[in-house]
Amino acid sequence: MREYKMNLKNKKVLVTGADGFIGSHLTEELIRQGHDVRAFVLYNSFNSWGWLDHSEPTIKKNMEIFAGDIRDPHGVKQAMKGCDVVFHLAALIGIPYSYHSPDTYIDTNVKGTLNIVQAARELGVSKVLHTSTSEVYGTARFVPITEEHPLQGQSPYSASKIGADQIALSFYLSFNTPVSIVRPFNTYGPRQSARAVIPTVITQIATGKKNIKLGALHPTRDFNYVKDTVEGFIAVAKADKTIGEVINIGSNYEISIGETVKLIAELMNAKINLKTDAKRIRPQNSEVERLWAENAKAKILAKWEPAYGQWEGFRKGLKETIEWFINPDNLKQYKPGEYNI
């Protein structure tokens, strides 16, 4: 592995997908740490910066906004000019929507990543952190899942991310483009889309619903609190020996969806009934039955480990998440009675 050291203090940083769930938290934390950040948000006619619209004034005044589309190579290259480090998070991530419109996932996730690494190569960017997902592993063949686990595209979303990961790695192998692959497991926390199980349960309970509509309850997941995920990204960016590497960011703790729902209800002092909603069930062979991260590589190469790991850490993260969601100003951003693919 090639030696590499990065001091972000003296670098211009670009975050793509800065308007989204993880991207907004990452952008804010980088600014809090004193870094020079350009936030790439999806252009829209409402001039919305997504979740960054809700950032504190002290954060906003230190934020440079670039509105564009990751699918456009010219805009991507323009956004990357003058940047030393690129955190590439922009992607379509909804699994149900990938069944509906798979072509858009290829355009955004695969072509978008190609645009990033091509521009990085041409501009001589110092480091690109490409965001993968634990979904690329599919149902675990062994646990905990190391970075050597086979890749299984069990949904069009997963397949598109496998393609994006391989495009990014191919530029490292072919052109020595300095790329690291950050592979977060199931990140949760404030601002997460209600398509995901934890926000959908919290928002339904918070609005007084007793019959909670869900999909499959038996699959297991390795939930990673968003603060841990953000610290993982930053640690990989700063670390030696991470270029050309795939690095899991996970808590190394496995829990079923059903047990997670029970824990949320307990923390919210709610008595609930679980109702299976057919719309939320994945096709049988597409369901990822088990995910459990091995995070030893992140500890060794990036000196990162979760602050919210294991049972107590998960409870703590859920408490913080619940506290955010039940705030009326935050809850009104959601539509708990509607299922949006």
Q: Which residues are known to be catalytic?
A: 157
Short-list 208, 221, 259, CA closest to 145: 221
Q: At what angle do helices 257-267 and 310-325 cross, to 10 degrees?
A: 60
Q: At what angle do helices 112-123 and 156-175 cross, to 10 degrees?
A: 20
Q: Which residues contact 259 (CB under 8 A, 6 or more apart)?
A: none
Q: Which two tokens stand for residue 305?
A: 């480990």
Outline where the chain has alpha helix (H). 21-32, 57-60, 73-80, 95-100, 102-105, 112-123, 156-175, 197-206, 226-238, 257-267, 296-302, 310-325, 328-331
Q: Which two tokens stand for residue 258?
A: 């059903």
